[in-house]
């Protein structure tokens, strides 16, 4: 007498259905991860701002998207890229005034974000707090005073200025120590070929190209160290707040900064 097969057949069908569902889920997850990796590698990469060197343009607690394609690709802009080529692929040159993420030349494991001030061949100098490019003082006008911390952590009122670079790009800078800061008087920096001179908008609280690498600074930045151009702030929390603490967002999120372009 033959045994009934109905229950076994149902079990087999259920197992196949479960296995098929699990396989489909794994497939979707792998595809999603692959798409995210491509987007992060070739298109946009998120960064957060841990320091105040770009105040008032960027604040501590800002999260922004950086376009990876803006200047082409180098071994420093592609994660886990082997050291098999130098220079850039599909290269495009930064413009003066761009806000750029780059690998620190003396320590390429560190990401820095600054503004492009000097292009290859430019001569840059600070004289009594005023930026000079190729022998000409860069115009600036007073905007207002803002409250911020000085390098000792004390709250103070400092002036902000609208600075207009050659080519017409304007941005806002602050001078915590007026025009008498440590880097407000320098020699002339002549930018080498295929390099860039970077400065923070928080002029008296920025370690940038005004400080040579041997003194813990940035120095000139090679073009192959460029990671991408800062495009948009997509999230922002107050200094000291944690982005993952979503239950505090009503009090900690800077809603006025969300989806603002970086200028």
114 catalytic residue (yes or no): yes
Which helix (H) or strand (E) is 62 found in, with range? Answer: strand 62-67
213 within 8 A of 237, measured Cβ to Cβ: no
Structure tokens that stand for 208 in this block: 């940038």
CA-derived radius of gyration, the chain: 25
**Among the options 68, 70, 77, 114, which is catalytic?**
114
Q: How many CB atoms lie within 10 A of CB 157?
A: 10
Nearest-angstrom CA–CA distance, 236 and 254 = 5
Q: Which residues of 218-231 are buried (b: 16+ CB within 10 A; e: fewer)?
A: bbbbbbbbbbbbbe
Q: Which of 223, 225, 169, 218 is nearest to 195 (CA)?
A: 223
φ and ψ of 213, to 5 deg: -55, -35
**Among the options 53, 74, 77, 209, which is catalytic?**
53
Q: Which residues are catalytic?
A: 53, 114
């Amino acid at each position: 007498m033959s045994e009934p097969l109905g229950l076994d057949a149902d079990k087999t069908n259920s197992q196949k259905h479960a296995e098929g569902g699990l396989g489909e889920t794994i497939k979707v997850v792998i595809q999603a991860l692959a798409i995210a990796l491509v987007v992060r590698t070739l298109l946009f990469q998120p960064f957060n701002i841990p320091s105040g060197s770009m105040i008032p343009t960027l604040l501590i607690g800002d999260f922004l998207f950086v376009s990876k394609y803006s200047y082409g690709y180098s071994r420093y802009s592609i994660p886990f890229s082997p050291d098999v080529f130098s220079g850039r692929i599909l290269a495009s040159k930064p413009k003066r005034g761009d806000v750029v993420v780059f690998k620190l030349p003396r320590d390429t494991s560190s990401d820095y974000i600054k503004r492009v001030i000097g292009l290859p061949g430019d001569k840059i100098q600070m004289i009594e707090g005023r930026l000079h490019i190729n022998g000409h003082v860069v115009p600036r006008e007073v905007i207002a005073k803002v409250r911020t911390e000085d390098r000792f952590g004390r709250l103070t009122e400092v002036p902000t200025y609208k600075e207009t670079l050659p080519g017409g790009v304007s941005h806002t800078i602050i001078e915590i120590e007026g025009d008498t800061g440590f880097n407000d008087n320098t020699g002339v920096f002549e930018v080498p070929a295929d390099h860039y001179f970077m400065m923070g908008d928080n002029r008296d609280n920025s370690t940038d190209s005004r400080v040579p690498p041997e003194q813990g600074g940035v120095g000139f930045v090679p073009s192959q160290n460029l990671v991408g151009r800062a495009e948009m702030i997509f999230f922002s929390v107050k200094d000291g707040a944690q982005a993952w603490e979503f239950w505090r967002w009503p009090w900690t999120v800077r809603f006025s900064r969300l989806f603002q372009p970086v200028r």
